[in-house]
């Protein structure tokens, strides 16, 4: 493997995740040598980055994966020593808020102490003046609403084991910057989504269910708290901000957000509307349901190509399942992106409508392909979620 004199080297933890995939694409397009850390799993976990694979034997290979884990200091130290990165993007985390209530100790280890392991490895290797570090911090730090919109100076009040672990990671990043003069920065990113989003996060769960329901593969979407409000952007825009944060003259922390907040219920309505299905919500609390109010057949036909729907006007398509409620919830997130607008020159290109459109159409394409496979005699996992 050959790196040219000026070629920058990046190391991405969490490269197999949503953001890791988009960030890899971005850095490769800028001429970086990209190293990534992937976990050993019993099944392949690289589907989001398989299109970036390069033969490691090739002289011009600019993309290389290393087995590793945020819970293994020696492994992280070895990879950093071998790859000598100019920039490290720490995206690895157990990133599901609800699941963090089930595995709080692991979450603290991977998300909190994992960040310390990375910072300390850079310091012990004497690379603290060479290597810049981006820490994937989160709007979940704001938790219980103290003030809105939330900016870099808003007080934190984490509301989950995930958020508490990320709070440790946030402050240890600030501490290593102040104590050792490291170029270590937090991007406080609000929710960002895409067709690559994990299937159990709310937006992707919705766009997958909408696609399956309109294609006749699922009857009902079971949801948790429909009143939660999130500031949703597109991951493709947000990885640009990560890159920009590490290109500044001085290290600092930045909120990355759209400044617009939307209820989960409205996301569902917009996602169904993308396929011509119009919903109305009725009832209160756990009794609330989403009912199919009308169908715009022109849109439905354009999107689906056939009019043999298994659902009818009046059908209940959305129900509440308390299993999806969280022991402590984050009710309202709305970010103030002024600092990133002014200092990074960062502005998102996507809005909520274009994000939802891309996600819904991508999932419809995926499930249409599954249907074709099924019809050709292949077995495909299409059970309801
Ligand atoms: P994903 O859940 O899609 O990806 C997480 C990545 O971390 C995966 O590559 C996963 O590997 C890896 N990972 C998990 N645990 C470990 C571990 N112990 N050691 C090594 N790798 C591990 O998350 P996103 O891409 O959405 O988010 C990226 C980062 O940004 C995360 O840290 C997340 O907490 C944070 N964040 C995300 C936001 C969002 O809205 N998406 C908003 C704010 C912050 P595998 O593929 O094997 O599971
Ligand atoms: P979040 O994302 O917790 O904000 O964390 P998620 O999409 O899981 O939930 C958003 C909101 O939707 C409500 N909700 C449901 N959520 C899920 N997953 N499933 C449901 O059925 C459901 N019904 C309602 C939730 O209660 C919540 O209020 C994401 C992750 O990417 C974190 O890693 C990241 O740090 C933050 O975004 C910013």
Contact yes or no for 229/335 (Cβ under 8 A):
no
**Separation of 224 CA from ligand 2 center, angstroms?**
10
Indicate if ligand 2 lies below 6 Å from the C-beta of 324: yes
pLDDT digits 0-9 by tens, 347-357: 999 999 999 99
**Separation of 158 CA from ligand 2 center, angstroms?**
14
Site to probe by mutation for ligand 2, drawn from 201, 222, 226, 232 as the one with most ligand atoms within 8 Å of Cβ, is 201
Instruction: Say yes or no: 146 and 16 in one domain.
Output: yes
Q: How many CB atoms lie within 10 A of CB 201?
A: 16
179's tokens:
């104590």
Instruction: Say yes or no: 120 and 157 in one domain.
Output: yes
If one counts the domains in the chain, the total is 2
Residue at 299 is within a domain: yes
**Separation of 239 CA from ligand 1 center, angstroms?**
13
How many angstroms separate the CA atoms of 207 and 204, rounded? 5
Helix (H) or strand (E) holding 63: strand 63-67
Residue at 51 is within a domain: yes
Residue at 93 is within a domain: yes
Contact yes or no for 96/162 (Cβ under 8 A):
yes
Complex ipTM: 0.99
Nearest Cα residue to 289 out of 323, 318, 311, 313: 318
Please identify, among 216, 241, 259, the residue that sits at the C-terminal boundary of a domain.
259
How many angstroms separate the CA atoms of 118 and 114, rounded? 6
How many angstroms separate the CA atoms of 164 and 184, rounded? 20
Contact yes or no for 300/275 (Cβ under 8 A):
yes
Instruction: Say yes or no: 287 and 366 in one domain.
Output: yes
pLDDT tens series, the chain, 385 aa: 555 568 999 999 999 999 999 999 999 999 999 999 999 999 999 999 999 999 989 989 999 999 999 999 999 999 999 999 999 999 999 999 999 999 999 999 999 999 999 999 999 999 999 999 999 999 999 999 999 999 999 999 999 999 999 999 999 999 999 999 999 999 999 999 999 999 999 999 999 999 999 999 999 999 999 999 999 999 999 999 999 999 999 999 999 999 999 999 999 999 999 999 999 999 999 999 999 999 999 999 999 886 567 889 999 999 999 999 999 999 999 999 999 999 999 999 999 999 999 999 999 999 999 999 988 988 776 655 4
Please identify, among 242, 259, 276, the residue that sits at the C-terminal boundary of a domain.
259
How many angstroms separate the CA atoms of 47 and 111, rounded? 23
Instruction: Say yes or no: 206 and 152 in one domain.
Output: no
Contact yes or no for 68/75 (Cβ under 8 A):
yes
Site to probe by mutation for ligand 1, drawn from 95, 111, 112 as the one with most ligand atoms within 8 Å of Cβ, is 95
Indicate if ligand 1 lies below 6 Å from the C-beta of 7: no
* pTM for this predicted structure: 0.97
Beta bridge partners of 277: 295
Instruction: Say yes or no: 208 and 236 in one domain.
Output: no
243 has catalytic annotation: no
Indicate if ligand 2 lies below 6 Å from the C-beta of 173: no
Instruction: Say yes or no: 216 and 237 in one domain.
Output: no
Instruction: Say yes or no: 131 and 277 in one domain.
Output: no
Report in angstroms the alpha-carbon separations of 176 from 122, 181, 315, 371: 10, 7, 56, 52
Q: Residue 14: which CATH number? A: 3.40.50.720
Shortest-distance Cα residue to atom 32 of ligand 2: 95
Q: Residue 209: which CATH number? A: 3.90.25.10
140 has catalytic annotation: yes
Instruction: Say yes or no: 23 and 120 in one domain.
Output: yes
Indicate if ligand 1 lies below 6 Å from the C-beta of 17: yes
Residue at 335 is within a domain: no
Proximal ligand: closest to the CA of 92: 1
Instruction: Say yes or no: 239 and 293 in one domain.
Output: no
How many angstroms separate the CA atoms of 248 and 250, rounded? 5
Instruction: Say yes or no: 182 and 319 in one domain.
Output: no
178's tokens:
């102040």
22, 89, 134, 162: the catalytic one is 162
Instruction: Say yes or no: 32 and 173 in one domain.
Output: yes
**Separation of 326 CA from ligand 2 center, angstroms?**
10
Instruction: Say yes or no: 156 and 134 in one domain.
Output: yes
State the residue range of the domain holding 14.
9-194+232-259
């Amino acid at each position: 493997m050959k790196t040219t004199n000026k070629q920058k080297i990046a190391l991405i933890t969490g490269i197999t995740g949503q953001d890791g995939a988009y960030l890899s694409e971005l850095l490769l397009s800028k001429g970086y040598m990209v190293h990534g850390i992937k976990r050993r799993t019993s099944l392949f976990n690289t589907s989001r980055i398989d299109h970036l694979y390069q033969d490691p034997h090739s002289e011009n290979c600019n993309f290389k994966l290393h087995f590793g884990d945020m819970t293994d200091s020696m492994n992280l130290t070895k990879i950093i020593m071998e790859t000598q990165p100019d920039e490290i993007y720490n995206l690895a985390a157990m990133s599901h808020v609800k699941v963090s209530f089930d595995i709080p100790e692991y979450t603290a280890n991977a998300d909190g102490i994992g960040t310390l392991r990375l910072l300390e490895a850079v310091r012990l290797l004497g690379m603290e003046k060479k290597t810049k570090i981006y820490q994937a911090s989160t709007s979940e730090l704001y938790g219980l609403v103290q003030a809105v919109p939330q900016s870099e100076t808003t007080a934190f009040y984490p509301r989950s084991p995930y958020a508490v672990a990320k709070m440790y990671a946030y402050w240890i990043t600030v501490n290593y910057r102040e104590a050792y003069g490291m170029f270590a920065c937090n991007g406080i990113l609000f929710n960002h989504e895409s067709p690559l989003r994990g299937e159990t996060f709310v937006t992707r769960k919705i766009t997958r269910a909408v696609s399956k329901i309109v294609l006749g593969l699922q009857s009902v979407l079971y949801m948790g708290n429909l009143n939660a409000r999130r500031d949703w952007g597109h991951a493709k825009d947000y990885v640009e901000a990560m890159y920009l944060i590490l290109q500044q003259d001085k290290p600092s922390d930045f909120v990355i957000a759209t400044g617009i907040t939307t209820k989960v219920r409205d996301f569902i309505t917009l996602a169904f509307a993308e396929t011509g299905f119009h919903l109305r919500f009725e009832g209160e609390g756990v009794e609330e349901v989403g009912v199919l109010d009308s169908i715009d057949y022109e849109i439905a036909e354009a999107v689906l190509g056939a009019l043999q729907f298994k659902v009818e006007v009046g059908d209940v398509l959305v129900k509440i399942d308390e299993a999806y409620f969280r022991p402590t919830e984050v009710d309202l997130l709305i970010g103030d992106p002024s600092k990133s607008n002014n200092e990074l020159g960062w502005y998102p290109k996507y809005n909520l409508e274009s994000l939802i459109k891309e996600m819904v159409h991508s999932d419809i394409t995926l499930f249409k392909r599954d249907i074709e496979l099924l019809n050709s005699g292949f077995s495909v996992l299409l059970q309801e979620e």
